[in-house]
Amino acid sequence: MVDLLKCVEIEPHGAAEFTVIWLHGLGANGHDFEPIVPSLRIDPTLQVRFVFPHAPHIPVSINNGMEMPAWYDIINLDLGREIDATQLRNSAIEISGLIARENERGIKTENIIIAGFSQGGAVGYELALSYPNKLAGLIALSTYFATQKTIKLSPANRKLPVFIGHGRQDQMVLPKMGKEAYDFLEDQNYPVEHHEYEVAHGVDMDEVKEIGTWINRAFNRGK
């Protein structure tokens, strides 16, 4: 049996009916977005479990080869963003194991949202848009669609709702990279939203509020 990634989990007050699996960015861990959950103001009639997996520690080229929590190696930070795409896809497979565990715990795949920040969002694009069974949605924050040219889009998720959020002052992942992902998804007729905020490589409270509203809407569709 393959070991699942270790995770931080926040349980609802009742039996969980929905799940958000939220991937952190480079050098962070599963605790990174844990504190924002109360600020999302999730509809109290929705029983939502939050799962924040920890990325493994691997050597990262832009960190002089030193190990740090990462979903995949980044070779350089230019606009081409050379990465180890095989590691990215393997991380997506690892997250799919968490989806399977949620299924075992009684959560339907159509009641699961995949969310990711920066590196985590790049994995989220690959996982959610190629996943063979229908998901509830994808949240892509301060990120880019690293595998856009190679992904095999899943017919089951061709109507997947997508929320893209990006900081206008982001110098780590330029806003144009988020907009390129939006343009691709819009051209493919996905129900995608693109939002920008007055923040750098991070999220602000306006964004958190809108993410919460979007989650409530996505899960209320599944009730």
Q: What is the CATH number of the domain that holds 67?
A: 3.40.50.1820
Tell me: pLDDT of 138 over 90: yes
Instruction: Give the domain range for residue 136.
Output: 7-221
In the annotation, is 170 catalytic?
Answer: yes
175 lies in some domain: yes
Question: Does the active-site annotation cover 201?
Answer: yes
110 belongs to a structural domain: yes
Q: Which of 96, 154, 195, 201 is catalytic?
A: 201
Q: Is residue 2 part of a domain?
A: no
51 Ramachandran zone, left/alpha/beta (phi>0; psi -120 to 50): beta
Q: Given this model, what pLDDT does residue 81 score? A: 81
pLDDT band at 106 (very low <50, low <70, confident <90, very high): very high
Q: What is the pTM of this model?
A: 0.97
Interval 126-135 mean pLDDT = 98
Number of domains present in the structure of the chain = 1
Per-residue confidence at 223, pLDDT binned at 50, 70, 90?
A: low
**Residue 212: inside a domain:** yes
Q: What percent of the chain has pLDDT over 70?
A: 97
Average pLDDT over all residues of the chain: 96
Give the length of the chain: 223
Is-contact 117 53, C-beta < 8 A? Answer: no
Q: Which amino acid is at 88?
A: L
The reply to whether 1 falls in a domain is no
Q: Which of 32, 130, 170, 194 is catalytic?
A: 170
Q: Which of 118, 130, 142, 194 is the catalytic position?
A: 118
- The pLDDT value recorded for residue 10 is 98
154 is catalytic: no
At 164-190, the pLDDT tens digits run 999 999 999 999 999 999 999 999 999
What element of type H or E holds 93?
helix 85-104
